[in-house]
Amino acid sequence: MVLYIYSNVIGAFVFNTDLRIIDKLLFEDKDIVNNALRLENNEWLDEEKKLVKKHGHKIIYLGKKQTELKGIELSKDDKFELVNERISQIPNFHQMIRKAGIIITKNKIKNSVKQDTLVIQAINNIDELDRVANTLVKRLREWYELYLPEFSKKLRDNEKFVELVLKKKKTELLKEINISSKKSMGANLDETDLRPITELAKRILSLYDLRKSQSDYLELIIKKSYPNMYAITGSQIGAKLISLAGSFEKLAKFPASTIQLLGAEEALFRHLKTGAKSPKYGILHEHPLVTKAKPSEKGKIARALGDKISIAVKVDFFKGKFIGEELKKELEKKFIKKKK
Amino acid sequence: MVLYIYSNVIGAFVFNTDLRIIDKLLFEDKDIVNNALRLENNEWLDEEKKLVKKHGHKIIYLGKKQTELKGIELSKDDKFELVNERISQIPNFHQMIRKAGIIITKNKIKNSVKQDTLVIQAINNIDELDRVANTLVKRLREWYELYLPEFSKKLRDNEKFVELVLKKKKTELLKEINISSKKSMGANLDETDLRPITELAKRILSLYDLRKSQSDYLELIIKKSYPNMYAITGSQIGAKLISLAGSFEKLAKFPASTIQLLGAEEALFRHLKTGAKSPKYGILHEHPLVTKAKPSEKGKIARALGDKISIAVKVDFFKGKFIGEELKKELEKKFIKKKK
C-alpha cells in the first residue's frame, strides 16, 4: 500500500494514492481547530467539503500518537512521502492552511500566558525598580549634598534617606547629626531651588512603594500557584528560579544539580572553559540557610536545597499534595541542628 | 634686609629676622577670616596676641596683590625663604592654622553653590529621568504585551502609550486599532494581575511629569541667570554646555572653538589619535539651526553658533547688558535667509 503523509500546523493527514485523506491526526483539540477554522468564514469547511466531494475521503479523528493511527496498518514497506506538490493542486489549500495556522498560533500565544509568565514579569520588574531607584537616589544624594552634605554622608540607608529628606527640615536634620548650621558646608537654597529636589525624592519614595506592592503581588501568585516551592524558597528566590529557567515547566524538569547552580551560569562556563573553581550555588546563595551558614558548609546546604526544591517544583507542576512544610523541616533539621 | 615669607591657607605673612610679622596678606576678606578664627574659641586671637606680646610685631591689612605689600620695599636682592621650621616653634601654630583652614574651606564650599551648580544638577537629573523612564516603559510594554500585544506594537510613542494604558480599557484600545477581541493575541488578565501593570504605568507617568516640572525649573534659572546665552541656546542646550564645561565660569573662559566642540570630546580625541574625520559640532547638533540645516551647512552653522555663544556667555559672566536678541538675529539673518 502506498501512503502519502502531509503535515501542516493543524495536523498530519494521510492520503492514499487517490489523494483521499484516509486518516488525520490533529495537533490541537478538535474544538480549537474547528473554532479556528470556523472563524475564517467557513472557508476551510467549504474547502474540506469540496475535498470530500471530489475525493470522497473518510475523516477519522484520532488520538495524539502517530502510532495510534487507526484503520491503517503501517509497516516498514509503506512509503511515506510528502505530497506538497499534489496537495497544492487543491485551490487555495495552502492559503487556507496558513490562515488557520495563524489563528491557531494566536490562540496558543493567548493561552500561553500562565502564572509563571506573570511571575517572570513581576520579578524582572522588581529588579528593574531596584536599579532605577538606586540610580535616582544617587542623583538625589548628589543634589541634596549641595544643601546638607553632612547628613547624606552619615545616613547610608537609601530608603530612610529619602524618607527623612521629605519628612524633616534642614534644621531638624542638623540637630539629629549634631552639627550647627554654621559649621555645615551646605549652601542655603531657597524654596524654588529646593522644590525640584523634594519632588525627585517623592518620586523615588513612590517607586519604593511600588516595589513593595509588587513584591506582595509576587508573593500572592507564588504562594497560590507553587505552594511547595514557596515553602522552601519564599517568593523572591522562587521567582528568580522560574525567571532563570525560563518557565515553571522547564524548572520542574531540571535535575536538582541544575537548580542548585541556576544563576551561576557564567561561573560554570568559566569552570568548564578555563578549569577555574566550579561554582557551588547560583541564586541560592541568597537563601537564608546559605547566607547564615559557615563558608565551608554553604556548598553542602546549596546541594541539599537544590534537591528539595527539585522535589517541590515537580510536585507543584503535577499539582500534587502539599509537602513543602515537611521538606522545609527536613532541611532545617539537618542544617540548623548541626550548628548548635 | 632679610625677609621671611610664610604662607598658609589664611594668608601670607612677612617676618623680619626677629620673627616679627611685619606684614601680612590675607587671602580671604578680613571678616571671613576673623569669623573663622573667632569660631574656634578665640584660640587664634589668643595666640596672635601672644605673638604680638612676644615679638611686638605690627599688623597691616593689605589689598590682594603681593606686589602691593605696603611699608616694605622689595628688590631682587631681598631673600624670601620659608620659615616653617622657625614658625613651628610657636606652640600650636600649625594646629590653629589647620583648624582655621578647615573653617575657611567649609565656608568656601558653602558659598561655591551657585546657579550653575544647580543647573548642572537639574540637567543631569533630567537626563537620568529620561533614561529611567525609558527603561521602565520597555518593561511596561513587555508586561502589557501579554495582555494586549497589538496595541503596544502600533503605538511607538512612549509617553502616549503610558497615558492610554491608564486612560482606556482593553476593549476601547482594541476598537482604536480595529482588532476584534477574538483576534487579539493578548491573554485575559484579571484585576489582580492587571493592577501591578497599571501601578507601574502610574509611576512612569509621574516621572514624565517630574521631567516636565524640572525642565521648567531649569528654564527659569537659565533665563534669569544667563539671559544672553539663553537667547541663543535655550535652556536644554545651555544647561548641557555648562554641565560639559564643568561650571559657568569655565564655559565663559572657553574659546569659541571649544564651545563649538563641547560634547564631541570622544570624536575629537579619535581624530587626534587615529586621524579620523574631525568632528564639526558636539552638543550643538541639537540646536534647531543645526538640525534644520543641510548636512553640508551644519559645520559652518555650528562654528557661527560657537562664536555667538562664546560672546553671550562672556557678557553673562561679567553681568553685561542684554545683547542676546541681537546675537540671535545676526545668526538667523545669516543662515535662515540663505536658505530661501
Domain annotation covers residue B221 = no
Are A107 and A188 in a shared domain? no
Predicted ipTM > 0.85: no
Are B104 and B120 in a shared domain? no
Average pLDDT over residues B206-215: 94
Task: Give CA–CA dist A289/A298, Å, rounded.
Answer: 8
| Confidence band, pLDDT 50/70/90 cuts, at residue B103 | confident
Of the candidate ranges A266-270, A302-306, B77-81, the one whose mean pLDDT is the lowest: B77-81
Residues of chain A numbered 144-173 and touching chain B (CB < 8 Å)? 146-147, 149
Q: Which three cell numbers stand for residue A203?
A: 518620586
Determine the distance in angstroms separating the CA of B148 from the nearest CA of chain A, rounded to an integer: 10
Contact B207 A203 (CB under 8 A): yes
Residue with cell 544539580: A257
Domain annotation covers residue A40 = yes
Of B139, B146, B192, the CB nearest to A128: B139
**Type of residue found at A311:** I
Number of structural domains in chain A: 3
Are B133 and B62 in a shared domain? no
Determine the distance in angstroms separating the CA of B139 from the nearest CA of chain A, rounded to an integer: 7
Task: Give CA–CA dist B118/B111, Å, rounded.
Answer: 13
Are A171 and A206 in a shared domain? yes
Residues B16/B18/B22/B25 CA torsion (nearest 10 deg): 70
Are B210 and B254 in a shared domain? no
Contact A110 B220 (CB under 8 A): no
What CATH number corresponds to the domain at position A273? Answer: 1.10.246.90
Indicate if the pLDDT at residue B87 is higher than 50: no
- Residue B304 or residue B109, greater confidence: B304
| Confidence band, pLDDT 50/70/90 cuts, at residue B302 | very high
Any idea what DSSP says for residue B254?
A: S
HEC profile of chain A: CEEEEEECCCEEEEECCCCCEEEEEECCCHHHHHHHHHHCCCHHHHHHHHHHHHHCCCCCCCCCCHHHCCCCCCCCCCEEECCHHHHCCCCCHHHHHHHHHHHHHHHHHHHHCCHHHHHHHHHHHHHHHHHHHHHHHHHHHHHHCCCCHHHHHHCCCHHHHHHHHHHCCHHHHHHHCCCCCCCCCCCCCCHHHHHHHHHHHHHHHHHHHHHHHHHHHHHHHHHHHCHHHHHHHHHHHHHHHHHHHCCHHHHHHCCHHHHHHCCCHHHHHHHHHHCCCCCCCCHHHHCHHHHCCCHHHHHHHHHHHHHHHHHHHHHHHCCCCCCHHHHHHHHHHHHHHHHC
Domain annotation covers residue B222 = no
The residues facing A3 across adjacent strands are A80
> So what's the pLDDT on residue B338?
56
- Other beta carbons less than 10 A from residue A147's beta carbon: 20
Q: Tell me the range of B36-40, B63-67, B317-321 where mean pLDDT is highest.
A: B317-321
Of A64, A90, A112, the residue that ends a domain is: A112
Determine the distance in angstroms separating the CA of A281 from the nearest CA of chain B, rounded to an integer: 28
Tell me the pLDDT tens digit for each residue of B138-163: 999 999 999 988 888 888 999 999 99
Of B113, B184, B200, the CB nearest to A210: B200
Contact B200 A110 (CB under 8 A): no
Tell me the pLDDT tens digit for each residue of B254-281: 999 999 999 998 888 899 899 888 899 9
Of A193, A216, A239, the residue that ends a domain is: A216
Contact A213 B220 (CB under 8 A): no
Are A106 and A123 in a shared domain? no
Indicate if the pLDDT at residue B69 is higher than 60: no
Of the candidate ranges A69-83, A206-220, B57-71, B77-91, the one whose mean pLDDT is the lowest: B57-71
Indicate if the pLDDT at residue B120 is higher than 70: yes
Work out the mean pLDDT of chain B and round it to a whole number: 79
Are A101 and A141 in a shared domain? no
What CATH number corresponds to the domain at position A152? Answer: 1.10.287.4070
Q: pTM here?
A: 0.72
Show Cβ contacts of residue B27 under 8 Å, excluding neighbours closer than 6 positions.
B9, B10, B11, B12
Domain annotation covers residue B159 = yes
Task: Give CA–CA dist B285/B301, Å, rounded.
Answer: 10
Of the candidate ranges A36-45, A144-153, A193-202, A278-287, the one whose mean pLDDT is the lowest: A36-45
Task: Give CA–CA dist A284/A233, Å, rounded.
Answer: 9
Q: Is B70 near chain A, with CB under 8 Å?
A: no
Contact B210 A203 (CB under 8 A): yes
> So what's the pLDDT on residue B105?
78
| Confidence band, pLDDT 50/70/90 cuts, at residue A34 | low
Of A79, A112, A145, the residue that ends a domain is: A112
Average pLDDT over residues B186-213: 92
Burial of B245 by CB count in 10 Å (0-12 exposed, 13-18 middle, 19+ buried)? buried
Handedness of CA A226, A228, A231, A234 (dihedral sign): negative
Work out the mean pLDDT of chain A and round it to a whole number: 79
Q: Which domain holds residue B88?
A: 3-112
**Type of residue found at A312:** A
Task: Give CA–CA dist A13/A2, Å, rounded.
Answer: 14
Are A266 and A212 in a shared domain? no
Tell me the pLDDT tens digit for each residue of A126-182: 999 999 999 999 999 999 999 988 888 888 999 999 999 999 888 888 888 888 777
| Closest CA in chain A for residue B188 | A110
User: Phi and psi (nearest 5°) for A182?
Assistant: -70, -35
Q: Is B81 near chain A, with CB under 8 Å?
A: no
Tell me the pLDDT tens digit for each residue of A276-292: 888 999 999 999 999 99
Of A113, A196, A207, the CB nearest to B217: A196
Specify the DSSP element, H or E, that contains B11. Answer: strand B11-16
Percent of chain A having pLDDT more than 70?
70
| Confidence band, pLDDT 50/70/90 cuts, at residue B187 | confident
Tell me the pLDDT tens digit for each residue of A52-67: 445 433 333 222 234 4
Per-position b or e across B192-231, b if 16+ CB within 10 A of its CB: ebeebbebbbebbbbbbebbeebbebbbebbeebbbbbbb
- Residue A180 or residue B289, greater confidence: B289
Domain annotation covers residue A120 = yes
Indicate if the pLDDT at residue B12 is higher than 70: no
> So what's the pLDDT on residue A188?
86
Residues of chain B numbered 209-268 and touching chain A (CB < 8 Å)? 210, 213-214, 217, 220-221
Indicate if the pLDDT at residue B64 is higher than 50: no
- Other beta carbons less than 10 A from residue A191's beta carbon: 7
Are A179 and A234 in a shared domain? no
Indicate if the pLDDT at residue B19 is higher than 60: no
Q: What is the DSSP string of B308-332?
A: HHHHHHHHHHTT----HHHHHHHHH
> So what's the pLDDT on residue B47?
56
Percent of chain B having pLDDT more than 90?
45
> So what's the pLDDT on residue B35?
59
Are B330 and B236 in a shared domain? yes
Cα distances from A35 to residues A29, A63, B179, B189, in angstroms, run: 10, 19, 18, 22
Which residues on A lie below 8 Å from B203 (Cβ)? 203, 206-207, 210
Residue with cell 605673638: B51
> So what's the pLDDT on residue A338?
56
Domain annotation covers residue A207 = yes
Residues of chain A numbered 268-307 and touching chain B (CB < 8 Å)? none
Domain annotation covers residue A221 = no
Are A259 and A231 in a shared domain? yes
- Measured N-to-C along each axis, helices A227-245 and A115-144 cross at an angle, to the nearest 10 degrees, of 70
Specify the DSSP element, H or E, that contains B15. Answer: strand B11-16
| Confidence band, pLDDT 50/70/90 cuts, at residue A69 | very low
Contact A187 B122 (CB under 8 A): no
CA B7 distance to own-chain centroid: 32
Contact A139 B125 (CB under 8 A): yes
Contact A186 B139 (CB under 8 A): no
**Type of residue found at B306:** G
Show Cβ contacts of residue A272 under 8 Å, excluding neighbours closer than 6 positions.
none
Taking alpha carbons only, the member of A69, A70, A9, A118 closest to residue B200 is A118
Are B97 and B139 in a shared domain? no
